[in-house]
A = this chain, B = another copy of it.
Amino acid sequence: MRSAADYLGSLQDGRTVYYRGERVRDITSHPVLKIPVQHSARLFSLRDTDSLRKELVVTDRQLGDISGFFLIPTSSSDLLYRSKIIALSTRASGGVFNITQVIGSDALFALSIVAKRMAKESAERVQSLWRRAAKEDLALAVAQTDVKGDRSKRPHEQRERDMYLRVVERRSDGIVVRGAKAHTTQSITSNEIVVLPSRSLTAADRDYAVAFSVPANAKGLKLIVRPMLEIEGLPTQKDAPVSSRDAEAESLTIFDDVFVPADRVFLDGDWKLAGELANLFALYHRFTAISYRPVTCDLYIGAARLAAKSNGITEKSHVKDALLDMVLYREYMEMAATAACHASRLDSISGVAIPNELYTNLGKLNSNAAFHEFISRLVDIAGGLVSTLPGSEDLDNKEESEYILKYLEGSEETLGDRYRIMRLVRELVGGPFTGYMLGWMTHAEGSVQASKIAMLRAYDFTGAEELAVRAAGIGAVNEREGKTKRGQADRAKSE
């Protein structure tokens, strides 16, 4: 298992990273990019505390001590453990999700299940990736979302054939891939990038049915990082108390004819498996989402409480209602995660535990669809100052600071702290972080619309129709097979 220093060293490998129009040779010392780097490094340093080490490290029979994130779940308890350490590392990162070893393991679990339906050699390659990741304590990114072009068209129908990543050459020793993946979180701070298809495919799309893994410094791999507005978009980093400490970087990830050696190719051409792989990964990753997001919410809820106190309005009924709405949003997710663990199922072939699909999606749907409501409650409580608060530089100017400190002081309960409270609130709901998070929380880990369609398709209406058919006094309904069994069934299984 690696120290944070070991990890940091591993990132200086010549990877191709661009930031704000410039090639960044060493991300660990870049004034902005070092923040996502340190954020990922934090995952490793957390284990320096004994109490956290006990939580974050598990012992594998063959490999010895490994990071808990790589524990392949085979029971409800394992899923509960996973949910707990995801929450714990998010809390230790100040409420900001720490994806470093999470998303990669989400992909590994999905691959492990699907691999058992593939050729034996593919299964071995997946097993080998897991072994390497766990043993070498790797940081793994996952590149899934294709850039898509015209979304009303399938991959092979696009005007430009590379709008979904595809195999452009098959050699005896491997494949060459071309395309681009969007929104790849922490690709720049990863050791290796796992690539998965982003949707179900048809026979005509077989060249797009590809899954593999490459090192972050692979030739032809280029990482174009988004401008990190949440860090740079404020007068000073003091004004970004959260993001100046913990933040994650997304890249547009370019595969400019990248060669992938055969032993790292998990899927190539078997288009029937693409959808299942994409969906299973999405399921694990949504489960991840409802595990970390409650902690992220705590940051906002805590800020709302502080703001209410500093405004002297904690006893107003509309403030209480607003806080309760925030709490309900948070707890919906945590409840869904709890239920998804307990009502999980074991994949019959691989023995891997899969979080309950219905509950995971319920939790995720609300999470994505209602985040804007959630933050609007904080805006309501905090007041207009979130848009008009002077900056830290004004506080540093003595001519101004006496006025600011005098006039922006609120109730006695938070005497001396209100400027800092409002500065935090501005970061959360009145600055560049706001826009970033609004997009993130709405779209990350799978869109609302896709989930809705999938849920309705998978839902088993048998019990409902039977009741209604009986009540109406009419003949039988004839739809039953192949549907996700809900509630009772799942619950029975989990007992």
> Which B residues are CB-close (under 8 A) to A475?
417
B302 touching A448, Cβ below 8 Å? no
Question: Is B94 a contact partner of A312 (Cβ separation < 8 A)?
Answer: no
Complexed CA–CA distance, A303 and B491 (Å): 25
A282 beta carbon closer than 8 Å to chain B: no
With known contacts A234-B227, A372-B375, A429-B435, A388–B183 Cβ distance under 8 A: yes
Of the candidates B159, B384, B491, the one whose C-beta lies within 8 Å of that of A183 is B384
> Would you call A440 and B331 a contact (CB within 8 A)?
no
How many chain A residues sit at the interface, stated as a range, is 35 or more
Oligomer copy total: 4
A301 to B148, CA, bound (A): 23
A403 touches B226 (CB 8 A): no
Interface of A is mostly: helix
CA distance A83 to B151 in the complex (A): 40
Choose one: B87, B386, B396, B407; the contact of A147 (CB below 8 Å): B407
Task: Determine the distance from Cα of A149 to Cα of B464 in the docked complex, in whole angstroms.
Answer: 24
Chain B residues in 8 Å Cβ range of A315: 152
Contact among B301, B362, B406, B464 for A305, CB-based, below 8 A: B464
Complex Cα gap A53–B480 (Å): 26
Contact B149 A410 (CB under 8 A): yes
Name which of A42-50, A63-71, A269-277, A333-341 contacts chain B: A333-341
CB-defined contacts of A391 to chain B, threshold 8 Å: 20-21, 226-227
Mind listing 14 A-B residue pairs with CB under 8 Å?
Answer: A21-B395, A77-B495, A80-B495, A180-B406, A182-B407, A229-B234, A241-B471, A254-B407, A256-B403, A302-B469, A306-B468, A306-B472, A328-B365, A372-B372
